[in-house]
């Protein structure tokens, strides 16, 4: 099936190149063939080519044929074709301003391509993720992806896409207001296009308006106008409606700069008309805003208002709060996927180090036995022992550091959840203030000073809210930095109640981020008379985090058993008690109603490398390190457990 599909796709290449644009005649020919096609493989090839053929001329049709091809790829197990169509969908919906959807499709295509090691598809996904970051205005991030993509296309000898990426890189330099670099890259592509008549190798309409932009930025308006007009001709030849819109738009902006409003309105109107045919929202938005300003200069307020309304509709679709929040969520999900992958790699390294440690211990015993029997080699034996012990200490140090990094990883998702809310408040109030400032200007122009003052008070109140939530986000970040740092290693007065409450919430949100189905009731009972105690906060924080994370894990495992009326509960309690020898101590209890710890392993839980979790889910160092930390503070840690009822870990620290 796969070989037959590739053969059909190759035979149809006379109609379309997967990187190019099809003429109306070619599209009609392929649709006619699809109507009479009987073999599924032929249908896959034709729908695949139609999805690309409509790429720049009809977004809805391109998306329709992409979905049909994805369904057929799933049916016939063609992951490479599915990844190509997902990436194409992401690139297509980007033209309609749907950044979150575009980013989600590219990440999905990237995941499939990485599994099957498809370098070409990975390169295309990187290219299109770069396009998304360009639309977001993160130009340095965009160029990072473009350079990665260019290197991969160079590796597989796809010269057409190498030139495409060089053009993208030059465009980013133009957007960053670095015209010399921008023109340098665009001229490389332009001069290469003059050496061939192959219209599939270069996207000529796009190349033309980018050359125009580069010359415009350099101040050469005459050459800029030549390339924009040439771009319109090339777009009409290629049936490239998207880049026809762009060339019209940039030509309209150029005429506006040259103070030729009639010509500017003409080409801006053309950009709106062509942009609407393919739902190219960004092009329609820019052109509508330009026309609105031109009519306003002429005091034709009705027309100015009409096109301003059109621009605002497109702006809401492009940059609305919900779309921004969805984009944030997709980025965070991808970051979480990368963190989980990194955690798995750390677990693999830990397993390898444990095996190396055991092998080292075995080797050490063998060498020690042999050398003990051979008195003549006593000096050599001592050197071997010293080297082995050094390696063992190094391995132990690395494992301890891995456990600390795993502890930091547990917090990352919780921190992301905690910081999301204040950031959302900051973004929302900033948007409101922008609108209020526009309203205040209008009232001031009208002479309504009192109304303007009322609006100014609203702005001031919103700024105070922005300041409040900004400080809140700052406090969360500083808390994470404090946890992630090694600290001074010295004891300092610390509010143990606040420390325990913070790690309870962060541990819970961290687990929720990994498993949305996980839920548990959190209860606290803090003795306010405890006050501050002298501890190393980073170390005791890791102990509390480890115990709370274990408690949530235990309740989650019990919940998976499907017991009737079972409600997962984790309780954190502090109290102060007197000691028989004088003085006092603080007690920290972390309790859960999970399955408890079996009696047969209870004596082993504080031993290094011992864990009851499945292979790969625990290093077996968490409780061992916790035990050492508490002992170093002059305290002790105990456990009280009942099978099928739950477990209580008790930390006692001296005041």
- Token pair belonging to 423: 């950031």
Residue 521 sits in the same domain as residue 474: no
Task: Retrieve residue 100's tokens.
Answer: 């979150």
What average pLDDT does range 199-212 have in this prediction? Answer: 87
Residue 645, pLDDT above cutoff 70: yes
**pLDDT range class, residue 330, cuts 50, 70, 90:** low
pLDDT of residue 149: 93
pLDDT in tens, 301-311: 888 888 888 87
Query: Same structural domain for residues 478 and 345?
Result: yes
User: Residue 238 falls within a domain, yes or no?
Assistant: no
| Non-local CB neighbours of 542 within 8 Å, separated by 6+ positions | 404, 407, 625, 626, 629
Whether the predicted pLDDT of 107 surpasses 80: yes
Q: Which two tokens stand for residue 589?
A: 């209890």
Using alpha carbons, select from 238, 155, 200 the residue that is nearest to residue 13.
Answer: 200
CATH number of the domain encompassing residue 124: 1.25.40.10
Task: Give the pLDDT mean for 347-352.
Answer: 66
Task: Answer for the pair 515, 556: CB distance below 8 angstroms, yes or no.
Answer: yes
Q: Which two tokens stand for residue 207?
A: 């190349």
Dihedral of alpha carbons 597, 599, 601, 602, sign: positive
Dist. CA 218–CA 182, nearest whole Å: 10
Is residue 122 within 8 Å of residue 114, measured between CB atoms?
yes
| pLDDT of res. 380 | 66
Total domains in the fold of the chain: 4
**Do the domain assignments include residue 492?**
no
**What per-residue confidence (pLDDT) applies to 115?**
92
Q: Which of 98-112, 219-233, 622-636 has the highest mean pLDDT?
A: 219-233
What is the mean pLDDT of the segment spanning 12-37?
69
Per-residue pLDDT, 421:
63
Phi, psi of 635, deg, nearest 5: -110, -165
Residues counted in the chain: 655
Arithmetic mean of pLDDT over the chain: 80
Please, which pLDDT band fits residue 465 given cuts at 50, 70 and 90? confident
Phi, psi of 282 (to 5 degrees): -65, -40
- Same domain (yes/no): 351, 468: yes
More confidently predicted of 526 and 451: 526
Computed on alpha carbons and rounded to an integer, the radius of gyration of the chain in Å comes to: 32
Q: Is the dihedral of CA 488, 493, 496, 502 positive or negative?
A: negative
- What integer pLDDT is reported at residue 375 of this predicted model? 61
Share of the chain above pLDDT 70, in %: 75
650 and 575 assigned to the same domain: yes
Assess whether 109 and 167 both reside in one domain. yes
pLDDT above 60: residue 6: no
What would the mean pLDDT of 183-195 be, rounded to a whole number? 90
pLDDT over threshold 50, residue 7: no
Tokens 């902006």, located at residue: 253
Of 21, 45, 77, the residue at which a domain comes to its end is: 77
Specify whether 519 is located in the same domain as 610: yes
Q: What is the DSSP letter of 199?
A: T
- pLDDT value for 602: 82
In tens, the pLDDT along 359-416 reads: 766 766 677 667 666 666 666 666 666 666 666 555 555 555 555 555 555 555 556 5
Is 321 a domain residue?
A: no
**Are residues 156 and 63 located together in one domain of the fold?**
no
Same domain, 479 and 345: yes
Using CA atoms, how far apart are residues 632 and 194, in angstroms rounded to an integer? Answer: 74
In a shared domain, residues 519 and 650: yes
- Banded model confidence at residue 340, pLDDT cuts 50, 70, 90: low
Q: Is 560 within the bounds of a domain?
A: yes
Residue 118, domain member (yes or no): yes
Neighbours of 387 (CB within 10 A): 11
Pairing of strands 584-592, 646-654: antiparallel
pLDDT of residue 378: 65
- What is the domain extent for residue 43? 1-77
For residue 50, being part of any structural domain is answered with yes
The two tokens of residue 606 are 């504080």
Average pLDDT over residues 47-68: 87
Q: Indicate the residue among 143, 169, 187 that finishes a domain.
A: 187
CB 489 within 8 A of CB 463: no
Expressed in percent and rounded to 5, the helix, strand and coil fractions of the chain are 75, 5, 20
β-sheet bridge partners, residue 534: 493
Confidence bin at 353 (pLDDT 50/70/90):
low
Is residue 278 in a domain? no
**Phi, psi for 649 (deg, rounded to 5):** -100, 135
Nearest to 1 by CA among 34, 39, 41, 38: 41
The greatest distance separating any two alpha carbons of the chain, rounded to the nearest whole angstrom, comes to: 106
Q: What is the pLDDT of residue 332?
A: 44
Q: Would you place residue 83 in the very low, low, confident or very high pLDDT band (cuts 50, 70, 90)?
A: very high
Phi, psi of 638 (to 5 degrees): -130, 165
Contacts of 179 (CB under 8 A, 6+ apart): 173, 214, 217, 218
Where are any strands of DSSP class E within 392-516? Answer: 492-495
CA–CA gap between residue 97 and residue 56 (Å, rounded): 14
Mean pLDDT of 571-578: 91
Residues 223-250 have pLDDT tens digits of 999 999 999 999 898 888 889 999 999 9
Burial class for 197, CB neighbours closer than 10 Å (0-12, 13-18, 19+): exposed
CA distance 592 to 568: 8
Query: Do 472 and 345 reside in the same domain of the chain?
Result: yes
Question: Residue 492: helix, strand or coil by DSSP?
Answer: strand
**Residue 562 vs residue 618, higher pLDDT:** 562
* Ranges 230-244, 252-266, 463-477: which has the least confidence: 463-477
- Same domain, yes or no: 447 and 347: yes
b (16+ CB within 10 A) / e for 143-154: bebbebbbebbe
pLDDT at 283 over 90: no
**Residue 25 confidence (pLDDT):** 84
Question: What integer pLDDT is reported at residue 632 of this predicted model?
Answer: 84
Domain boundary among 438, 462, 484: 484
Query: What are the tens digits of pLDDT across the range 479-527?
Result: 555 555 545 567 889 898 988 888 888 778 777 767 778 888 999 999 9
Query: 519 with 642, same domain?
Result: yes
pLDDT band at 314 (very low <50, low <70, confident <90, very high): confident
Residue 62 tokens read as 């391109």
Q: How far apart are CA 50 and CA 21, in angstroms?
A: 10
Is 297 among the domain residues?
no
């Amino acid at each position: 099936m796969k070989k037959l599909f590739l053969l059909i796709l190759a035979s149809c290449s006379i109609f379309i190149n997967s990187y190019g644009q099809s003429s109306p005649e070619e599209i009609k020919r392929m649709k006619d063939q699809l109507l009479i096609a009987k073999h599924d493989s032929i249908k896959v090839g034709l729908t695949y080519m139609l999805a690309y053929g409509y790429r720049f001329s009809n977004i809805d049709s391109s998306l329709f044929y992409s979905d049909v091809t994805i369904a057929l790829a799933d049916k016939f197990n063609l992951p490479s074709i599915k990844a190509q169509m997902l990436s194409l969908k992401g690139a297509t919906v980007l033209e309609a301003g749907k950044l979150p959807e575009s980013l989600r499709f590219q990440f999905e295509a990237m995941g499939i391509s990485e599994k099957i090691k498809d370098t070409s598809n990975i390169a295309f996904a990187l290219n299109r993720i770069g396009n998304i970051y360009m639309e977001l205005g993160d130009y340095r991030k965009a160029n990072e992806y473009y350079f990665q993509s260019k290197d991969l296309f160079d590796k597989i000898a796809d010269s057409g896409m190498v030139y495409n990426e060089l053009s993208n890189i030059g465009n980013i330099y133009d957007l960053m207001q670095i015209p010399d670099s921008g023109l340098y890259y665009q001229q490389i592509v332009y001069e290469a296009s003059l050496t061939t008549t192959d219209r599939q190798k270069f996207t000529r309409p796009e190349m033309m308006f980018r050359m125009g932009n580069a010359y415009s930025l350099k101040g050469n308006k005459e050459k800029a106008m030549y390339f924009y007009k040439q771009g319109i001709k090339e777009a009409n030849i290629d049936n490239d409606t998207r880049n026809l819109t762009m060339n019209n738009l940039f030509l309209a902006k150029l005429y506006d700069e040259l103070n030729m409003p009639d010509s500017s309105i003409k080409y801006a109107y053309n950009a709106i008309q062509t942009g609407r045919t393919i739902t190219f929202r960004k092009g329609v938005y820019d052109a509508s805003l330009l026309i609105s300003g031109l009519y306003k200069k002429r005091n034709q307020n009705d027309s100015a208002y009409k096109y301003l309304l059109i621009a605002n509709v497109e702006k809401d679709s492009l940059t609305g709060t919900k779309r921004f929040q969805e984009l944030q969520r997709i980025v965070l999900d991808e970051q979480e996927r990368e963190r989980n992958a990194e955690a798995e790699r750390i677990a693999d390294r830990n397993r390898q180090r444990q095996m190396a440690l055991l092998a080292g211990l075995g080797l050490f015993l063998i060498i020690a036995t042999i050398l003990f029997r051979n008195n003549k080699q006593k000096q050599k034996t001592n050197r071997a022992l010293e080297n082995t012990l050094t390696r063992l200490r190094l391995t132990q140090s690395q494992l301890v550091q891995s456990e600390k990094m795993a502890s930091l990883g547990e917090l990352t998702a919780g921190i992301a959840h905690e910081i999301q809310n204040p950031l959302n408040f900051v973004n929302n109030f900033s948007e409101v203030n922008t609108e209020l400032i526009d309203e205040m200007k209008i009232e001031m122009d009208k002479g309504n000073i009192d109304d303007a003052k009322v609006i100014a008070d609203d702005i001031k109140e919103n700024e105070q809210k922005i300041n409040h939530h900004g400080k809140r986000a700052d406090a969360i970040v500083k808390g994470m930095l404090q946890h992630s740092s090694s600290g001074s290693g010295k004891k300092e007065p610390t509010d143990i109640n606040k420390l325990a409450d913070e790690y309870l919430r962060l541990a819970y949100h961290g687990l929720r981020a990994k498993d949305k189905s996980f839920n548990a009731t959190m209860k606290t009972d803090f003795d306010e008379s405890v006050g501050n105690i002298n501890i190393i906060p980073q170390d005791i924080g890791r102990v509390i985090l480890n115990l709370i994370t274990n408690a949530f894990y235990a309740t989650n495992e019990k919940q998976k058993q499907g017991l009737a009326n079972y409600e997962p509960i984790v309780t954190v309690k502090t109290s102060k008690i007197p000691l028989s020898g004088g003085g006092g101590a603080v007690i920290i209890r972390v309790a859960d109603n999970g399955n408890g710890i079996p009696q047969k392993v209870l004596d082993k839980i504080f031993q290094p490398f011992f864990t009851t979790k499945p292979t790969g889910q625990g290093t077996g160092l968490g409780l061992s390190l916790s035990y050492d930390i508490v002992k170093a503070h002059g305290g002790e840690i105990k456990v009280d457990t009942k099978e099928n009822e739950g477990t209580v870990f008790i930390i006692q620290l001296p005041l």
